[in-house]
Amino acid sequence: MIEILEAVGLGFAAGVLSGMFGVGGGILFVPTLSLVLGLTQLHAQATSLVAIIPVVAIGAWRQARHGNVSVRAAVVLGLSSAGGVAGGAALATTLPEDVLRTLFAVLLLAVAARLLLDARRDPARVDGDRVEL
Amino acid sequence: MPATRPTAAVVGIGLVAGLFSALFGVGGGLIVVPLLMLVLGFSPRLAAGTSLAAIGITSLFGALTFGVLGNVEWLPAAKVGLPAMAGTLVGIQLQQRLSARRLSVVFAAFLVVIAVRLLLE
């Protein structure tokens, strides 16, 4: 029961961050699914991709209404990503669990570093453009 | 996107984003937004909006691929995804009123804590 409440709370937080920063929320979905709900790293990552879809659909719909979506670029980019997805999925399903988890932890540290650098270097950008949705 | 923008560059960004997305289980917006700005000269706003639409498609490919491979757990997906849908609507409202700069520092600290927990696992 506590796990479910924690997962719902973190899921909600991922959504709030998604709305504020214009990201999908995967960066919080993956650790919530693995550390709180006990999924393996691979299953957490795979499941995160499913949870992202409705969240970005809402975000993209809001952005499109404000004229902030280049539809042609989004469609070309999205469709061409299929090739990369095939490669990434082959890699993710081949790598050992602990390597996958370590890579993800490094990604989290990199994102944290970038957030801190952005906030220091260019406050206007973080306060303005980065939060547009 | 104006017709003069090189489609090849967009395809290249898509391939990299797909690899990143499927390897880490994230949408790929973390690298799509800066690449659209750096390579194609998109404004931050257009890059963020276009990225959201694109990663919807990317995540769909990823979800289908891992779903076929049997790695997706549907009930946990609903447990985090459904509250996140409500959360994103709240986040869109909050963005007008809160300092994203202050929040980004809290968010960064939170990510470091999670990273340490994952590394100790």
pLDDT tens-digit series, residues A5-59? 989 999 999 988 887 776 788 999 999 999 999 999 999 999 999 999 999 999 8
**Of A81-90, A104-113, A118-127, where does mean pLDDT reach its minimum?**
A118-127
**Structure confidence at residue B96 (pLDDT):** 62
**pLDDT tens sequence across B97-112:** 766 667 778 888 888 9
Q: Around Cβ A120, how many Cβ atoms within 10 Å? A: 11
CB under 8 Å to A5, separation ≥6 — which residues? none
Selecting from B11, B56, B98 the residue whose C-beta is nearest the C-beta of A60 gives: B56
pLDDT cut 70: percent of chain B above it:
91
Q: Does any CB of chain B come closer than 8 Å to the CB of residue A6?
A: no
User: CA nearest B43 in A: which residue?
Assistant: A129
User: CA nearest A17 in B: which residue?
Assistant: B91
Q: Does any CB of chain B come closer than 8 Å to the CB of residue A117?
A: no
Phi first, then psi, for residue A24 (nearest 5°) are -85, -25
User: Across all residues in chain B, what is the average pLDDT?
Assistant: 88
**Structure confidence at residue B105 (pLDDT):** 82
Q: Does any CB of chain A come closer than 8 Å to the CB of residue B69?
A: yes
CB under 8 Å to A58, separation ≥6 — which residues? B85, B88, B89
| Whole-number Å distance between alpha carbons of A52 and A74 | 16
DSSP structural state of residue B86: H
Show the tokens assigned to A110: 């990199």
- Cα–chain center distance at A103: 15
**Structure confidence at residue B5 (pLDDT):** 55
**Every domain of chain B and the residues it spans:** 1-72, 73-121
Higher pLDDT, A123 or A51: A51
pLDDT beyond 50 at A132? no
B37, B65, B80, B114: which to substitute to probe chain A, counting the most A Cβ within 10 Å? B80
- The reply to whether ipTM tops 0.90 is no
B88, B103, B110: which to substitute to probe chain A, counting the most A Cβ within 10 Å? B88
**Structure confidence at residue A133 (pLDDT):** 36
Show the tokens assigned to B67: 């779903």
**pLDDT tens sequence across A54-89:** 999 998 898 888 888 999 999 999 999 999 999 999
Selecting from A52, A81, A119 the residue whose C-beta is nearest the C-beta of B105 gives: A119
| Whole-number Å distance between alpha carbons of B31 and A26 | 13
pLDDT beyond 50 at A128? no
The upper half-sphere exposure of residue A10, i.e. CA atoms within 13 Å in the direction of its Cβ, equals 27
Q: Does any CB of chain A come closer than 8 Å to the CB of residue B66?
A: yes
Report, as an integer, the average pLDDT of B19-33: 92
| List of chain B residues whose C-beta atoms are within 8 Å of the C-beta of residue A81 | 14-15, 17-18, 21, 28, 54, 57-58, 61
